[in-house]
Amino acid sequence: MKNKILYLASSLLLLTMVSCSKRFLEDMKSYDKYDESIFTNEAQTGWYIDRLYNYYFVSYRNPLQSVVGLYNDNRSRMTEELGGTVINYTNPNILLQLATDADTYYGNSVGTGVTNNPYTRIRFANFLLEKIETVGQVLPEEFRKTSRGQMYFLRALQYYDLVRTYGGVPIVTTVQNASSTDESIRVPRAKSSEVFTQIVKDLDSAANLLPMIWSAPTTNYGRLTAAGALAMKSRVLLTAASPLFNSDWDNPGSEKWQKALQAGLQAETALTTAGYGLFGANAKDWAEMTFRNDNSFNKEALIVTLLSTNQTSSAGYNNSWEQSVRPRDHNGGGGVSATKEMLDLFPLADGTRPNASNYKDTFFFENRDPRFYRTFAFSGAKWGIRTNANKSSWFYRWRPNATGTPVYFNNNQTNSPAVVRKMSNPNADTTLLTFSGTDIFEYRYAELLLNIAECYAATGDIGNAVTYIGKVRQRVGIPSANNYGVGTPADRYAAIEACLYERRVELAYEGKRFWDLQRWMLYGNDNESGYNTCQKLGIAPLNGTKRNGYYWQSKSFVSADPLTAADRNILIDPDAANFATEIAKLKAVYQAKLVMTPLDQEWDRVNNLPVTILFRPHYYLSGLHATLLSNNSWLQQTKGWLDYSGGQGTYDYRQ
């Protein structure tokens, strides 16, 4: 098999189309504007498939976003990664319990037109699957196979986001027409386990029908592949085995853990044979994987959205991340301030964790994991732009007196002395940041390795769990001593915790943290409900905490910049021979002229009053919304939520 293989990409493929295709895609906006005859034509079938990719991923512009078709960053804002915005689900002043409070992702009532919601997307997939093997028999066999494979994959992705949002939902695998009188379409909520079974079945079908590599990469680059289906199966079964859905999770012999482990190992073997693996051999490579060789094969990318620098909206979609993370003096949106919790999280250079004896938060930039310097930018750190490869920014302020208005150097007003820089391109054009074309890696090979590590830990195989964490750490240059700093976990609980810790570091700011908190139920201990995983794993609950920030501020009140140009003559480049020297210079400048200062007001506030996180046990999975229940009276409401009439929900999502 050739070494250069197409990687799995959930891309937006509507780049340039002739006028007839545009008319066809417009016709798709209503169910009654097209019929099965389109599947007798290969070009129109291709347009149909491309439109469905668009329906799925058109809004995916930022790696913090998640949920197919929705793609907002609300869930990331319910974690320690982002401070400031308090989502209703974490607001202690609000109790969400009514059906009108539930998540609306499921969709609304069918009106005169067709909206892009989950069951619309499922219907489009079902329509092709039904028709391409009947009227579509005139099409080439290989084309029909890959068309069906993409539909199975897309349907699996949609059901996966439905099940992890609501638990069990109705399973619909045939085309249905909306009707208020047709009893046959009144499909009840399936068990969560049945939905997972359907997702795995669809992924198996996709793996059997799709190629590991497309024969025409120039045309088909970015489409779903068998390699991706195998990798996705690992993620799905890991979720199904996790405590949220698995009441037997604490049993090392649990069948669900065994199936998840088997799927992960099978995917690893198949993907390695196909040419996938960890990208690069050091932290520099790790940092550059999303933009080096942009829009061409990257062996770490398992699900990736291809984005464009094109300034014409109809010709491509742009990444919004570059604009968000760049500070004001880069002509950016102001930056994503790093919470203190994230700055203090990352390991030290030898892989050991920071603690009171080996780490001082004042000098958070000293002696850290190589990934730290590629995830965050701080004062003096090299963060290039197209016109200046050695550009650096500074994040500090000064005040004329205790009540005077603070002044921020270069207008870089942040709530932290560091900002997020991960997945930023050092060759970014600061005059066109909103038109970034950097691809988003939704699923990386490193995550697959961590999935396997977690399954090994859960089954009690601590040695293999540590080995797989070590593979991830070795690539970025952490020394091998003491198992790459992981040590030897005392038991399977400690091993699971070590896997979850490594995910927080390796996958930081990639939209994964909420889902780990959710599936392990780590917001709080609630023994009465059986949600005691924090206690078992020795993890501090997120409930009762807040996202913290602080300023670097001048030691004394001054009316002018306390730092001189000579003070700022620092360029901290982790790839340079003088890296340690420049770190020491920054430390000296800080000691001489700056001090840690609390924020002027708490970062997390509601109605301008400080709050701490409170995520209630029944929030882990949303109830069904009142609009849905009012039109579908046969659907049960989820336990913990009130139904349309105000009664207690009866649906148990753990079945």
455-479 pLDDT, tens digit each:
999 999 999 999 999 999 999 999 9
User: How far separated are the first and last CA of the chain, in Å rounded?
Assistant: 43
Q: How far is CA 241 from CA 75, 169, 264, 500, 503, in A?
A: 21, 18, 13, 15, 17
What tokens were used for 80? 């320690």
H or E stretch at 238: helix 226-241
Domain that includes residue 527, residue range: 446-537
Q: Who wins on pLDDT, 24 or 639?
A: 639
Q: Among residues 537, 565, 595, which one ends one of the domains? A: 537
- Give the pLDDT score at 112: 45
Of the CA atoms within 13 Å of residue 609, those in its CB half-sphere come to 4
- Give the pLDDT score at 110: 56
What tokens were used for 575? 């790839």
What tokens were used for 386? 């197209």
Same domain flag for 390 and 368: yes
Tokens 């982790």 sit on residue? 574
Cβ burial, residue 192 (10 Å; 0-12/13-18/19+): buried
What tokens were used for 295? 């829009």
Same domain flag for 462 and 491: yes
- Give the pLDDT score at 180: 64
- Give the pLDDT score at 13: 31
- Give the pLDDT score at 177: 74
> 11 pLDDT band (50/70/90 cuts)?
very low
Answer yes or no: is 350 within a domain. Answer: yes
Q: How far is CA 636 from CA 120, 165, 246, 626, in A?
A: 21, 15, 21, 11
- Give the pLDDT score at 156: 98
For CA atoms 22, 28, 29, 30, the dihedral sign is: positive
Q: State the maximum Cα–Cα separation within the chain, in Å, rounded to a whole number.
A: 80
**Does the pLDDT value for residue 25 go beyond 50?**
no
- CA atoms of 577 and 93, how far apart (whole Å): 52
Q: Which residues pair with 651 in a beta bridge?
A: 638
- CA atoms of 195 and 189, how far apart (whole Å): 9
Same domain flag for 380 and 511: no
> 18 pLDDT band (50/70/90 cuts)?
very low
> Is the CB of residue 123 less than 8 Å from the CB of residue 176?
yes
Same domain flag for 417 and 555: yes
499-533 pLDDT, tens digit each:
999 999 999 999 999 999 999 999 998 765 667 89
Q: Is 485 left (phi over 0), alpha (psi -120 to 50) or beta?
A: left
Tokens 């829009």 sit on residue? 295
210-248 pLDDT, tens digit each:
998 778 766 777 789 999 999 999 999 999 999 999 999
> 34 pLDDT band (50/70/90 cuts)?
low
Q: Among residues 507, 537, 567, which one ends one of the domains? A: 537
Q: Who wins on pLDDT, 111 or 437?
A: 437
Answer yes or no: is 585 within a domain. Answer: yes
What tokens were used for 412? 């870089």
Answer yes or no: is 37 within a domain. Answer: no
Same domain flag for 373 and 334: yes
Q: Who wins on pLDDT, 315 or 223?
A: 223
- CA atoms of 208 and 150, how far apart (whole Å): 11
Answer yes or no: is 373 within a domain. Answer: yes
Instruction: Please state, rounded to an integer, the average pLDDT across all residues of the chain.
Output: 91
131-156: average pLDDT: 96
Same domain flag for 376 and 350: yes
> Is the CB of residue 56 less than 8 Å from the CB of residue 69?
yes
- Give the pLDDT score at 223: 86
Answer yes or no: is 330 within a domain. Answer: yes
Q: Who wins on pLDDT, 22 or 505?
A: 505
- CA atoms of 640 and 402, how far apart (whole Å): 49
Number of folded domains in the chain? Answer: 2
> 155 pLDDT band (50/70/90 cuts)?
very high
What tokens were used for 163? 């099940």
Please name which of 571, 299, 347 lies closest in space to residue 476, comparing C-alpha atoms: 347
Same domain flag for 552 and 589: yes
Same domain flag for 413 and 340: yes
Answer yes or no: is 533 within a domain. Answer: yes
DSSP for 279-316 reads --SSHHHHHHTTTTTTTS--TTEEEEE-----SSGGG-
Same domain flag for 404 and 380: yes
Same domain flag for 379 and 412: yes
Same domain flag for 514 and 565: no
- CA atoms of 434 and 437, how far apart (whole Å): 9
Q: Which residues pair with 436 in a beta bridge?
A: 319
Q: Which residues pair with 348 in a beta bridge?
A: 368
> 296 pLDDT band (50/70/90 cuts)?
confident
Query: What are the residues whose beta carbons fall under 8 Å from the beta carbon of 132, sequence distance 6 or more?
Result: 39, 45, 139, 144, 147, 148
> 2 pLDDT band (50/70/90 cuts)?
very low
Percent of the chain at pLDDT exceeding 70: 92
- CA atoms of 167 and 29, how far apart (whole Å): 29
H-state helical runs in 28-138: 42-57, 118-131
**Does the pLDDT value for residue 573 go beyond 80?**
yes
Query: What are the residues whose beta carbons fall under 8 Å from the beta carbon of 46, sequence distance 6 or more?
Result: none
Q: Who wins on pLDDT, 10 or 33?
A: 33
H-state helical runs in 370-491: 372-375, 445-458, 462-475, 481-484
**Does the pLDDT value for residue 1 go beyond 60?**
no
Percent of the chain at pLDDT exceeding 90: 84
Answer yes or no: is 201 within a domain. Answer: no
Same domain flag for 410 and 501: no
Answer yes or no: is 499 within a domain. Answer: yes
- CA atoms of 175 and 186, how far apart (whole Å): 13
pTM of this structure: 0.94
614-628: average pLDDT: 96
- CA atoms of 11 and 224, how far apart (whole Å): 9
171-206 pLDDT, tens digit each:
999 988 766 667 777 899 999 999 999 999 999 999
Q: Among residues 482, 507, 537, which one ends one of the domains? A: 537
**Does the pLDDT value for residue 624 go beyond 90?**
yes
